[in-house]
Structure 1
Amino acid sequence: MSQALDIHEALRTNYLMQSLSERQIGEISAITSVKEFNGGDTILRQFAKDNDLLIILEGKARINGFSGELIAEAQPGSVIGEISLIDDKPRSATVVAVGDTKIATIPNSDLWGLMNREPEIGKELLLAISRILAARLRAANVVLDSVVERAD
């Protein structure tokens, strides 16, 4: 099986793409590349100015905060870089591969170009990203509430 077919299949089964047609997923597959990382490799660095969208295809990654503390662990299917994609600001965390890890990389400029040419793709992707961010915000609110409650 070719790498193009592998990318298409991986994207087709990802949450971000669930509302897209096969043709639309093919458009995204055409601008996507796969990068491989060894355990301990930095996938992206906090404060870096790149803003590509990443999807873990195989393996896992640690998402580390400002002082190196573990914020989350990303599994296959996890989307990384959605905040920088949306706000065009530097990366908010460092992501490190845990063991051999394959990442689908969708370049920011190519993705925004595609979403501008095909507004339906843009609408569906941005809605899916909004849902991811909303779920993360709700989870952060629960943690913050428990911290405030313990402080009282």
Structure 2
Amino acid sequence: MDASILQKVALFEGLTQSQLLRVAAIARPRGYEAGACLFREGEAGRDMFIILEGKVRISQQVPGMGEEALAILEKGQYFGEMSVIEDIPRSADAYAHTSCTLWVIEREQLDHLMFTDKDLAYVLLWSFVRTLSVRLRETNEKMKTFLALSRF
């Protein structure tokens, strides 16, 4: 895999060229047609994804309302990283919003890589923390808006 792509992914900022090459070596390309389901909420997860081409929709099913899109992700963004941090079910659905090509990184391979390269693990874990912090802030803002609108 071409490690230069990873340089443009926020999760991997701070990694050396050698570390980027090691991450690229465990990534596997996978293509999806528009509308394909990548995973569903509640499923066991063991992979994270990086978007090389196309768009991916992250959503949840809202009872009585149907699908609620949470985000449309584009080239260079990543998702599913919670599954490589913790062994918990997926928290949302992911669909190919357009036909897309993704890099898939399996938890076991990333675990092994982080175990053998502590400097890489340090950078990645802090990146994960920042990502989760940003997403928590965004969720809090959405909740504030929802609560404000529900009072009317």
> TM-score scaled by structure 1?
0.90
Q: Are 1:45 and 2:40 counterparts?
A: yes
- Cα shift readout 1:60-81 (whole Å, capped 9, x = no counterpart): 0111113322111111111111
Aligned residue among 12, 19, 36 for 1:24 = 19
Query: Following the alignment from structure 1 to structure 2, what is the Cα–Cα distance between the partners of residues 30 and 151?
Result: 49
Q: Are 1:111 and 2:110 counterparts?
A: yes
Query: Following the alignment from structure 2 to structure 1, what is the Cα–Cα distance between the partners of residues 131 and 94?
Result: 18
**What is residue 146 of structure 2 aligned with on the other side?**
147
Query: Following the alignment from structure 2 to structure 1, what is the Cα–Cα distance between the partners of residues 6 and 38?
Result: 19
**What is residue 77 of structure 1 aligned with on the other side?**
76
Query: Following the alignment from structure 2 to structure 1, what is the Cα–Cα distance between the partners of residues 9 and 30?
Result: 17
Q: Are 1:11 and 2:10 counterparts?
A: no
Q: Is the CA contact 2:54–2:100 (under 8 Å) kept in the aligned structure 1?
A: yes
**What is residue 98 of structure 1 aligned with on the other side?**
97
Query: Following the alignment from structure 2 to structure 1, what is the Cα–Cα distance between the partners of residues 13 and 123?
Result: 9
Deviation at 1:149, TM superposition (A): 2.8
Uncovered stretches (5+) of structure 2, i.e. residues with no partner = none
- Cα shift readout 1:10-45 (whole Å, capped 9, x = no counterpart): 112211111000000111111111100110111222
> TM-score scaled by structure 2?
0.90
Deviation at 1:58, TM superposition (A): 0.7
- The percent identity for this pair of structures is 29
Uncovered stretches (5+) of structure 1, i.e. residues with no partner = none
Distance 1:151 1:50, change over 3 A: closer
Distance 1:150 1:50, change over 3 A: closer
One-letter amino acid of the structure 2 residue matched with residue 100 of structure 1: S
Cα RMSD of the aligned pairs, angstroms, is 1.3
Deviation at 1:50, TM superposition (A): 2.5
